[in-house]
Structure 1
């Protein structure tokens, strides 16, 4: 590690999370943003100039970062990760909503560089996942509902974190596998159902709730992110941890452990 810490490249520097990552890095000694790109022109962020994302391959070769951090969209994320893999740069990916073909492309990149992916970089969400798995296993037969709330500009629904929580529930409760998204008209619960609800409003950073209800018993497990800085901090923790590791696919839980 150099005296500037892990050298980080940030894509989508003009977006909500890209800006948060750059601003959060400015307050840390273990990481330094040495490259930031965006598809459209934007002013410098926290003193870091933002370059044209179309030039990412050559910029990666020039600046030689250790890790690329990406919170963009599925199409651009796959493009950026491929460029990073070609340049031998590790990747931290917080983008969600990938198609099956895009998942394959990310796996291909992980064959040559370390790629760490997470639907959520909050330590609180990591704790919530453990609690949800334990609760679902301990409460067989209970009805389960998952609700997530995000800002009005979030594209994918349900959120990647909600899908991860659903996976956790289904692993603990194999009898639940039918996702019912909202309800309308005559809609009583059916066997094997998990209710899934997505809300979009204002500038909410992220809220996730898992409700488990049985006869005269209700358990609600909830996480609320106060700001996007929580996710940026986790992504930078992941970048610092990932630098120098072997090629392969990694998960945020490994950083926490």
Structure 2
């Protein structure tokens, strides 16, 4: 059965990728796509509508899910509109502040909201591997380095933060580790801290490396995305999975686990 999706931020990097991916799938169709600059369409055969018309479009075309990769302020506006219409949201936007997180939770009380910092299945495997490695290497120093294209807005990336959270969870510490973002001058490493380093360059779609180092040995775990279409496919998988579910918060890990 085909799932009808609405796509926001259609002229952005990920919006275009989602439309491209949807056009090649039989289990997904595009109900409509919106953009702040609809004159840049059509994209992958889909005409663009103004983002200001989202609420009317949700009511008129009744999509099963909305897929959003935009910026926090726009994302909150779109997810709120979808929740009011009883439409599930798949959110790949990152960089929400505490108020934004509260707004997403409020939206999830009215409709399903599936949010993930990364929709790559390989990243889900990386998170599992990180937890297992950290648990098996107690006391090892941990450093996380991520690289993204030069237009990436938030730093560190949402995926890097998710990796640090996974390290914290695996350590089962009484309190979260101190996160040190880069180092400069005299900055000896403190016990238990996690170094986090963000690089921005060129057109890199996404690279994340975890370094675990002890005395005399080190372990490196790395994920590289060669095409953002990987994330688009994952988001559409999530849309197909979450459509029609009960209101609440969901995670991409549930989609991956459900396919096993």
Q: Give TM class, smaller chain.
A: over 0.9
Please give the alpha-carbon distance, in whole angstroms, between the structure 1 residues aligned to 2:91 and 2:205: 18
Matched with 1:256 is 256
Matched with 2:189 is 189
The C-alpha deviation readout for 1:165-210, integer Å capped at 9, x for no partner, is 0000001124561111111111111122111000000000000000
The C-alpha deviation readout for 1:93-146, integer Å capped at 9, x for no partner, is 000111111111111111111110000000000000000000001101100000
1:5-16 mapped onto 2 (5 Å cutoff): 5-16=2-13
1:152 Cα deviation after fit: 0.2
Please give the alpha-carbon distance, in whole angstroms, between the structure 1 residues aligned to 2:254 and 2:170: 21
Matched with 2:162 is 164
Structure 2, gaps ≥5 residues long: none
Matched with 1:198 is 198
Matched with 2:25 is 28
The count of corresponding residues between Structure 1 and Structure 2 is 254
Alignment equivalent of 1:45, drawn from 43, 60, 64: 43
1:76 Cα deviation after fit: 0.4
1:43-82 mapped onto 2 (5 Å cutoff): 43-82=41-80
Matched with 1:207 is 207
For residue 191 of structure 1, give the secondary structure of its aligned residue in structure 2. Answer: coil
Please give the alpha-carbon distance, in whole angstroms, between the structure 1 residues aligned to 2:69 and 2:85: 19
1:43 Cα deviation after fit: 1.6
Please give the alpha-carbon distance, in whole angstroms, between the structure 2 residues aligned to 1:174 and 1:146: 18
* TM-score calculated relative to the size of structure 2: 0.96
The C-alpha deviation readout for 1:138-164, integer Å capped at 9, x for no partner, is 101100000000000000000000000
Segments ≥4 residues shifted beyond 4 Å: none
Matched with 2:171 is 173
Matched with 1:223 is 223
Please give the alpha-carbon distance, in whole angstroms, between the structure 1 residues aligned to 2:107 and 2:170: 31
Please give the alpha-carbon distance, in whole angstroms, between the structure 1 residues aligned to 2:254 and 2:196: 28
1:88 Cα deviation after fit: 1.0
Please give the alpha-carbon distance, in whole angstroms, between the structure 2 residues aligned to 1:43 and 1:122: 27
Please give the alpha-carbon distance, in whole angstroms, between the structure 2 residues aligned to 1:241 and 1:174: 31
Matched with 2:109 is 111
Please give the alpha-carbon distance, in whole angstroms, between the structure 1 residues aligned to 2:120 and 2:241: 15
1:107-146 mapped onto 2 (5 Å cutoff): 107-146=105-144
1:225 Cα deviation after fit: 0.3
- What RMSD in Å do the two structures reach over aligned CA positions? 0.9
Structure 1, gaps ≥5 residues long: none
